[in-house]
């Protein structure tokens, strides 16, 4: 037994932060990604058993999202393999307000090992490490969203909570809803980015059908579901779960915007 913790999506927004924190703490960690020395690929189940060998805990981040067709089946199959391999703890990154994600959570809860669920909605880092980065850099963020507030959460906070759940006690059987400290609309978030950069960055609301027409076919259904169904106000409230786990307030969006602007990414 290597006693390692496997971090799926170990090169992604939350996964790589979890990896760095575990390594800094001296915890043996195995990166789960298609490019890792021991590859892991959600679409190739032959890679799962080797990646799980000797692992004691897993951070489960599903790509591209738990809302896509086939996710529940993959999570169920992975959980069975993980338990058979001797894994004792699963920490699932889940979607907040998504019925499909809730079904995947049920699979993990019923796996027969220690589990923790981290429910999150929109990450701050979607503006700088994902599909909105180029739009911000170009000075116009056009999205099919109304003035619906969201409790944007920082990926750094998600990683801190994930590490606590993977390595500490008292988190087993818990569902944490992770949010930032306040609500912001997308227009408000873009305005704070503009203020941090000192540039003219505008938010423009566009019709859903026009936005969908400009998306790659492989991501269009997921993004339209997230923007037009999940972003309906169902998640428009904050929680104290980050504070409860970490003993501090969650990171604020304004601080994220300032720190990120200083890197020059926008």
Residues of the chain with pLDDT under 50: 1
Rounded Cα–Cα distance for residues 67 and 242 (Å): 24
Please tell me the class of the 4-263 domain. Answer: alpha beta
Condensed to tens digits (0 to 9), the pLDDT of residues 94-109 reads 999 999 999 999 999 9
162 three-class SS: helix
> Within 10 Å of residue 25's Cβ, how many Cβ atoms?
10
Q: For the chain, what are the domain ranges?
A: 4-263
The per-residue pLDDT for 2 is 63
Rounded Cα–Cα distance for residues 20 and 55 (Å): 18
The per-residue pLDDT for 1 is 45
The per-residue pLDDT for 170 is 97
**Which tokens is 173 given?**
């059987």
The per-residue pLDDT for 131 is 84
- Antiparallel, parallel or unpaired: β 202-205 and 140-143: parallel
The per-residue pLDDT for 3 is 86
Say which residue the tokens 């972003």 belong to: 231
197 three-class SS: helix
Condensed to tens digits (0 to 9), the pLDDT of residues 8-32 reads 999 999 999 999 999 999 999 999 9
> Within 10 Å of residue 32's Cβ, how many Cβ atoms?
29
What are the angstrom distances between the C-alpha of 81 and each of 14, 74, 78, 90? 23, 11, 5, 12
Cα-Cα-Cα-Cα dihedral of 119, 121, 127, 132, to 10°?
A: 120
Interhelix angle 15-24/155-167, rounded to 10 degrees, is 50
* Residue 57: closest CA among 167, 215, 201, 153: 167
Rounded Cα–Cα distance for residues 192 and 254 (Å): 6
The per-residue pLDDT for 174 is 98
What are the angstrom distances between the C-alpha of 67 and each of 101, 140, 176, 200? 6, 28, 19, 34
């Amino acid at each position: 037994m290597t006693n390692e913790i496997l971090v799926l999506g170990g090169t992604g927004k939350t996964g790589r932060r979890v990896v760095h924190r575990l390594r800094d703490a001296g915890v043996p960690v195995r990166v789960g990604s298609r490019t890792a020395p021991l590859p892991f690929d959600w679409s190739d189940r032959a890679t799962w058993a080797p990646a799980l060998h000797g692992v004691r805990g897993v951070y489960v981040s599903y790509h591209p999202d738990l809302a896509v067709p086939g996710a529940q089946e993959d999570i169920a199959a992975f959980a069975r393999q993980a338990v058979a391999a001797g894994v004792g703890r699963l920490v699932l990154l889940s979607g907040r307000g998504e019925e499909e994600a809730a079904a995947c959570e049920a699979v993990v809860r019923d796996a027969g090992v220690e589990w923790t669920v981290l429910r999150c909605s929109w990450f701050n880092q979607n503006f700088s490490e994902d599909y909105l980065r180029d739009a911000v850099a170009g000075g116009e963020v056009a999205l099919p969203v109304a003035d619906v507030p969201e409790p944007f959460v920082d990926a750094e906070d998600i990683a801190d909570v994930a590490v606590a759940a993977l390595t500490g006690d008292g988190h087993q059987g818990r569902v944490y809803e992770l949010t930032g400290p306040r609500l912001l609309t997308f227009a408000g978030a873009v305005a704070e980015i503009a203020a941090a950069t000192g540039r003219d960055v505008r938010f423009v609301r566009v019709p859903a059908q026009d936005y969908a027409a400009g998306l790659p076919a492989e991501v269009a259904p997921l993004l339209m579901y997230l923007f037009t169904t999940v972003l309906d106000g169902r998640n428009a409230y904050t929680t104290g779960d980050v504070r409860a786990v970490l003993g501090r307030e969650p990171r604020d969006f304004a601080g994220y915007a300032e720190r990120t602007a200083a890197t020059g990414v926008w």
